[in-house]
Amino acid sequence: MLIPKLLWPLLVYEICSTTVEAIEAKINKFTKRWLGVPPGLTDMAMYCRKAKLRLPLKSILEEYKCGKARLLSMLEDSDVPTVKTVQPTIKTGRKWKVVEAIDEAKECFKIKEVIGQTQTNRKWLGSSTAKWWSKAEGGEKRDMVINEIRLNEDSRRVQKAVQQSQHG
């Protein structure tokens, strides 16, 4: 209930990603207190999609990044010629840039296409339902980029959790 009301102003106004991180840290503090978990619990335990125990919580920072990427890709793929020629810029601060994240996701898909289908489970070879980047259309490409940004955020959380074991 809180996230949709909070995301709209974050997407419409030019708010940097560090401000969103600070908002998420405050919300995490109160959420951890409400859940009764220790304050040292990582974000991976709360928001990660790869973990065994998944809570039905969404990361505000992840939703912010996906929303900004969706906004930029919609403006770039617009059918209106004046919108295409303007080359919109979306400011997100110095830490994270939308254009770099989208370019990184597109490059990742091109690399996956060159590598080809690989068997990742016990199903038969070629059972993957992954759509290739070159065959995907505008809306499908946008969804693929946003899912890749979500996967990057998940991997960032996993890296943070792995690094914490070295400190303890």
DSSP letters for 11-59: HHTT--HHHHHHHHHHHHHHHHHHHT--TT--HHHHH-SSSSS--S---
The residue with greater pLDDT, 109 or 53, is: 109
Residue 124 confidence (pLDDT): 63
How does residue 131 score in pLDDT terms, banded at 50, 70 and 90? low
Residue 64 has pLDDT above 90, yes or no: yes
Percentage above 90 pLDDT, the chain: 17
Q: What is the mean pLDDT of residues 108-132?
A: 69
> What residues does each domain of the chain span?
2-117+132-167
- What local confidence, expressed as pLDDT, does residue 68 receive? 92
pLDDT of residue 120: 66
Tell me the longest C-alpha to C-alpha distance in the chain.
Answer: 56
Query: Is residue 101's pLDDT more than 90?
Result: yes
Around 5, how many Cα atoms within 13 Å sit in the side-chain half-sphere?
A: 2
Question: What tokens does 151 get?
Answer: 């996967």
pLDDT digits (tens, 9 = 90+) for 8-46: 888 888 899 999 999 988 988 888 898 898 877 877 778
The whole-model pTM stands at: 0.81
